[in-house]
Amino acid sequence: MSAAATKIIQPLPLNSTTTNRSPHKALFNPLKTIPISSFPASTRKLRLTKPNSPHARRRSTSVFAVSDVVQEKKPTFNTFFPNLLITKEEGLELYEDMILGRSFEDMCAQMYYRGKMFGFVHLYNGQEAVSAGFIKLLKNEDCVVSTYRDHVHALSKGVPARAVMSELFGKTTGCCRGQGGSMHMFSKEHNVLGGFAFIGEGIPVATGAAFTSKYRREVLKEGDCDHVTLAFFGDGTCNNGQFFECLNMAALWKLPIVFVVENNLWAIGMSHLRATSDPQIWKKGPAFGIPGVHVDGMDVLKVREAAKEAITRARRGEGPTLVECETYRFRGHSLADPDELRDASEKAHYAARDPITALKKYMVENNLASEAELKVIEKKIDEVVEEAVEFADSSPLPGRSQLLENVFADPRGFGIGPDGKYRCEDPKFTEGTAHV
């Protein structure tokens, strides 16, 4: 079949079938073209036909290549566009990033069960395509804001694996000096603005970073400031007030931000379909005047195409975009989650769509790289991760003097002590207590 033109008007979900089912009915009918049994939590139900309403067409203004591209295809997971979407270098970069994410997270699991890592650790296995697809398109000055599932976002943005690993081990050499932990990965150098434990908390912060970008361009007259912010969050967050409030504000002021929903269908044990009145998250964008797009998040190339469009829109000053990536986490919500609620066939279905295997197949089939070259990358990453663990292991634990150090940017905030001097001026200050 011929390559479809890359011209789209409405925000469409992918893999629409040829039968014309109404969007609402399709929620409960499994797609017949894919031989997977349907069950309540299946994402099959989210794949819909085009919304027929002219209203939907009128609302969206942006152009997305992805949906049209896949429309005419057989809806199996690993058929790709004959015209190559990436160059060899780009492909290798994406592959390396995803392998790094996967190996790192697997190593985290090992280290956790060996007692080197503690608390709540949320692993990203299976969702690497979203991180690689989006973040690899950014400049260093662009900001990324994430949630507690943030290790791989930090890695994709450029934070060294050893810094992230030592942070997880709670050592002083960690990216946040061991004070943040798994859920609070920050890096000023790479513009990673966290790492937030409560869901939805990071979205306003991302909106603020985008606001700064606009402020710098318009008030501070830094005309070339076109920094974009990406806010990553999950399906559960899309029922939270902060999500909607920020969609409104970002649309109102046309902030350079992309809202990326990593819809992995489960919020710990709560299925997205049980929690949401209208599970199609991309539809919530047009309610605020923002284009909403649904993308196959297990396919890094499709994610990348959608990301390119959204990020370019933001850079041009056309405002925010809402991108819903349909993805899946192969492991439980966190390492403490027994993961008993998810159906085995659902897991198997997504395991078969592993983004790393898919990209590997694509690159080999299209002669972008040989198996041997990819193996070299895998070996290199293995070494990087091993080295990160060694580095973290051998790093020192924080001492008592670090306890009071970063509470205030200006330590005069600890106040004037009974002797009339600022408490922070006392040389033994950091050995004391923090009460004010």
- Nearest approach in angstroms of CB 419 to other proteins is 7
Binding site residues, other proteins, CB under 8 A: 143, 145, 174-181, 184, 186-188, 193-198, 201, 203-216, 218-220, 241-242, 245-246, 248-249, 252, 405-410, 412-423, 434-436
Nearest approach in angstroms of CB 37 to other proteins is 41
Judged by CB, which is closer to other proteins: 271, or 402?
402
Tell me the closest approach of the beta carbon of residue 320 to other proteins, in angstroms: 13
Q: How many residues does the chain have?
A: 436
- From CA 213, how far away is CA 135, in angstroms rounded? 18
Distance CA 222, CA 215 (A): 9
**Residue 173 Cβ vs other proteins, minimum distance, rounded to whole Å:** 10
Burial class (CB in 10 A: 0-12, 13-18, 19+), 15: buried
- Residue 322 near residue 285 (C-beta atoms within 8 A): yes
**Burial class of 318 by CB neighbour count within 10 A (0 to 12, 13 to 18, 19+):** middle
* Residue (126 or 204) nearer to other proteins, CB: 204
Tell me the DSSP string of 173-203: TSTTTTSS-TT--EETTTTEE---SSTTTHH
Q: Which is nearer to other proteins, 78 or 212 (CB)?
A: 212
Give the residue with the Cβ less far from other proteins, 82 or 415.
415
Select 241 or 427, whichever has its Cβ closest to other proteins. 241
- 322 SS3 class: strand
Q: Is the Cβ of residue 5 or residue 219 nearer to other proteins in the bound state?
A: 219
Nearer CB in complex with other proteins: 88/177: 177
Closer residue to other proteins in complex, CB, 180/319: 180
Distance of alpha carbon 305 from its chain centroid, rounded?
Answer: 15
Q: Which of 126, 169, 130 is nearest to 146 (CA)?
A: 130
Q: Least Å distance between CB 44 and other proteins?
A: 34
Give the angle 325-322-74 at the CA atoms, nearest 5°. 40
Taking the complex as a whole, the smallest distance from the CB of residue 155 to other proteins amounts, in Å, to 17
Q: How far is the CB of 408 from other proteins (least distance, A)?
A: 5
- Integer Rg of the chain from CA: 23
The rounded distance, in Å, linking the Cα atoms of 310 and 160 is: 27
CB of 407 to other proteins, least distance (A): 5
- Distance (Å, rounded) from C-alpha 73 to C-alpha 92? 25
